[in-house]
């Protein structure tokens, strides 16, 4: 995969967005603009790790391990 180069001088359509090559750059189409969310901060990553460790330990107590990387932009109805 390669890093995505974005032309910010024009408005993007859904068709334009879907034609982009696969890359290692996360981007979203919002109101005609390609938006690249910022990288999570070290505090965010540390908090995420602490929460994961806590929930993993709690899940092991009941004999169940569940792990997946959730996309914050998605709606999940599955409960643990």
The C-alpha atoms of residue 64 and residue 57 are separated, in whole angstroms, by: 10
Long-range contacts of residues 32-40, Cβ cutoff 8 Å, at least 24 apart: 33/8, 34/6, 34/8, 36/6
**Annotated domain spans of the chain:** 1-37, 39-80
Q: pLDDT for 7-64, tens place per residue? A: 777 888 888 888 877 776 778 888 888 888 888 899 999 999 999 899 888 888 887 6
For residues 25 and 36, the answer to whether their CB atoms sit within 8 Å is yes
Find the mean pLDDT for residues 69-77.
57
Does 69 score more than 80 pLDDT?
no
Q: What is the pLDDT of residue 2?
A: 59
Q: Distances from the Cα of 34 to the Cαs of 23, 55, 59, 74, in angstroms?
A: 14, 34, 38, 18
């Amino acid at each position: 995969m390669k890093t995505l180069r974005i032309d910010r001088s024009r408005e993007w359509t859904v068709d334009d967005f879907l034609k982009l090559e696969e890359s290692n750059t996360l981007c979203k189409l919002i109101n005609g603009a390609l938006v690249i969310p910022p990288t999570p901060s070290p505090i965010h990553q540390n908090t995420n790790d602490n929460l994961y460790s806590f929930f993993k330990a709690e899940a092991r107590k009941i004999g169940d391990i569940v792990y997946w990387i959730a996309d914050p932009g998605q709606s999940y109805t599955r409960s643990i």
